[in-house]
A = this chain, B = another copy of it.
Amino acid sequence: MTTVGVLRETAGRERRVAMTPDGVVRLRRTGVRVLVEAGAGRSAWFDDPAYVEAGADVGSREQVYAESDILVVVRPPDDIAALPAGRTLIGLLDPLGDPGLAETLAAQGVTAISLDLLPRTLSRAQPLDALTSQANVAGYKAALLAAEAYGGFFPMLVTAAGTSRPAQVLVLGAGVAGLQAIATARRLGAQVTGYDVREAAQADIASTGALVLALSDAVQNGSDGYASALTGDEAASQLHSLAQAVPRFDVVITTAKVPGGRSPLLVSAEALDAMRPGSVVLDLGGGNVAGSAPDTRVVTGHGVTVIGAPNLASTVPVAASTAYARNVVAALGALDDDELVSAMTVRPLHDLDKERR
């Protein structure tokens, strides 16, 4: 019988877990054994007895490594050298961000399947799409955090003491995270405007009921669901146009990422300086805002709060783990789908070069 091992996450501040008790129930129905490292779900409020009740075994980390055919994680474990040869590792391994990882895993004889390599345009791939499920959680939390940090109301409220105007919120980047941030800020009653460099995403923004910020710059028509990096001139022009637009907003949420590349700068120091004191800028993309740092909240001399929040999904661990576990269950069910598995398999660069020849 195949054993699926669930490792406790080792990355700092990581609160998610790759498998939930609900997910264990689904896996057990497919005839596999599930072995969960003790305490793996604790930060996401899933305790060991809940896994046992769902039909899993609970054991030490060593036991999970020794007895599992397939190991599931959210992020790469920091003791990756302990992975025995012949095992399969499934997770959001970010091989584009860390090319060395592929070499290490290959040298150990470990097969690594990274869900962030999923071809997102295939409809049968959707249930496996962990980037989407986690971006959805992050976008939701981004709107909550921005509302929490802002000193005014998001909604228009009418009271005996007068009426408050709704907050003006701008969301830059309308992928999954941006669209969920738009939806959540709108739920809270803010007046929301969205912006994206991709033409198709502008239609997505409009379909949520938000306003669309139109800049005079070139738009992209990428086919893979991602924005590609702009040329230097395009980026400079966009940055300048955004600096004109940003200061009239109370709250700006940035969600622009480029896969395997640096997140683009969207809000310059000049733009921050032109914003009103009390404004809030939340950088979900990581690197979208001048002076932002991960997991840090700074207030500029001018009174603008800049929040760096590149890993927000982890801070809503129940929702994020529940969605992620569903993606993992779907991935385990698709291991006989050669096209998907081949696309997601992590290969060292020199192997990729060979294939291209």
Give A188 to B180 CA distance when docked, in angstroms: 12
CB distance from A12 to the nearest CB of B (A): 18
Chain B residues with CB below 8 A from A264, complex form: none
* A204 contacts B by Cβ under 8 Å: no
Is B129's CB under 8 angstroms from A161's CB? yes
* A136 contacts B by Cβ under 8 Å: yes
In the complex, per-residue mask of A286-320: 1 if CB is within 8 Å of any chain B CB, else 0: 00000000000000000100000000000011110
Chain B residues with CB below 8 A from A129, complex form: 160-161
Q: List the B residue with the shortest CB-CB distance to A155.
A: B187
Most chain B C-beta atoms within 10 Å of own C-beta, residue among A129, A145, A188 = A188
Q: In the complex, which residues 4-57 of chain A have their Cβ closer than 8 Å to any Cβ of chain B?
A: 15, 44-47
Chain B residues with CB below 8 A from A330, complex form: 161
Is B132's CB under 8 angstroms from A318's CB? no
* A144 contacts B by Cβ under 8 Å: yes
Is B318's CB under 8 angstroms from A159's CB? no
Q: List the B residue with the shortest CB-CB distance to A303.
A: B45
Give A157 to B138 CA distance when docked, in angstroms: 13
* A93 contacts B by Cβ under 8 Å: no
Is B127's CB under 8 angstroms from A160's CB? yes
In the complex, per-residue mask of A138-170: 1 if CB is within 8 Å of any chain B CB, else 0: 001100110110111101010111101000000
Give A150 to B148 CA distance when docked, in angstroms: 14
With A148-B145, A161-B133 known as contacts, the answer to whether A318 contacts B45 (CB < 8 A) is no
Chain B residues with CB below 8 A from A347, complex form: none
Q: 20 extra interchain contacts, Cβ-Cβ under 8 A, other than A44-B151, A45-B303, A164-B322?
A: A45-B276, A45-B278, A127-B161, A129-B161, A132-B159, A132-B161, A133-B159, A136-B159, A144-B144, A144-B147, A144-B148, A148-B148, A150-B318, A152-B319, A155-B184, A162-B322, A162-B326, A164-B319, A164-B323, A188-B188
The 9 residue pairs across chains A and B that have the minimum distance between CB atoms: A45-B278, A151-B318, A126-B160, A152-B318, A161-B326, A45-B277, A152-B319, A133-B161, A153-B319
